[in-house]
Copies of this chain bind each other. A is one copy, B any other.
Amino acid sequence: MQPLPSAPILVDQVYRRLMTAIADRTLPPGRRIRQGELAESLGVSRQPISHALQLLKHQGLVRESGRQGLEVAPMDPDRIRHLYRVRSALDELSARDAAERVAAGDSTASERADLAAIVAKGSAFDPDIPLPVLVQADVDFHQRLYAMSSNPVVIEILDPQWPHLRRSMLTVLEGGSYRRRAWEEHAEIARLVLAGDAEAASRASRRHAEIAGEETALRLKGEAATD
């Protein structure tokens, strides 16, 4: 038997709630954070709020506002660019390992099918798909790839970074022009991984992250300039 829902563990609930709120820009960059407000609106005491904010601060999603208290961290195009360079390196690693696992016959049929399904979903160029769903598909694609590399550390280490990436992706995909290209690249990466071509898959994966990073930094800087 499983231990069942166990305790609610408010800290964790609050943490996740706030993280998604920041990722989907419900809490926009720069928004002032007041512990008391959040506590009241979520119906809990300030204690778990404080804990969760501590975690988010370490994660760079909130920061101390100049005067007093915290605010949602603004998007920093430069930081995003550097983050994409890190992703380039790790995506390359994961794609290589994933392709090698496929080639060695160590991958399961369900993970391969799952990867293909995600690509199919994102590649269906339907303008009606709401943006958050598309972003989710993007995140799913890359995380699936990480999982297929069988290196849990890659997932762990990048997990706290995804909210940053989600936020910026929302901005970039608003434009719409990059969407088709991104999913063409995803499809190509998936094809190479599923074919077990480690060398080509790793190159394509690294290149994809590099391109996405440049694209994103460009858009974010443009955004900032038009503010």
The chain A residues found within 8 Å of chain B, CB to CB, are 11, 50-51, 54-55, 58, 60, 79, 82-83, 85-86, 88-90, 92-93, 97, 151-154, 156-158, 161
Interface secondary structure of A, over-half rule: helix
Shortest CB-to-CB span from A2 to chain B, Å, is 15
Nearest B-chain residue to A93, judged by Cβ: B89
Q: Is the CB of B11 within 8 A of A54?
A: yes
Q: Is the CB of B153 within 8 A of A86?
A: yes
- B-chain residues with CB within 8 Å of residue A161 when the two chains form the complex: 157
Q: Is the CB of B85 within 8 A of A151?
A: yes
**Among candidates B54, B60, B79, B90, residue contacting A89 with C-beta atoms closer than 8 Å:** B90
Q: Is the CB of A151 within 8 A of B82?
A: yes
Q: Is the CB of A58 within 8 A of B55?
A: yes
Cα A161 to Cα B90 in complex, Å, equals 15
Cα A33 to Cα B82 in complex, Å, equals 37
Q: Is the CB of A82 within 8 A of B50?
A: no
**Among candidates B51, B79, B151, B154, residue contacting A50 with C-beta atoms closer than 8 Å:** B51
- B-chain residues with CB within 8 Å of residue A151 when the two chains form the complex: 82, 85-86
Cα A82 to Cα B82 in complex, Å, equals 22
- B-chain residues with CB within 8 Å of residue A97 when the two chains form the complex: 85
**Among candidates B11, B55, B82, residue contacting A153 with C-beta atoms closer than 8 Å:** B82
Nearest B-chain residue to A54, judged by Cβ: B51
Q: Is the CB of A93 within 8 A of B85?
A: yes
Nearest B-chain residue to A97, judged by Cβ: B85
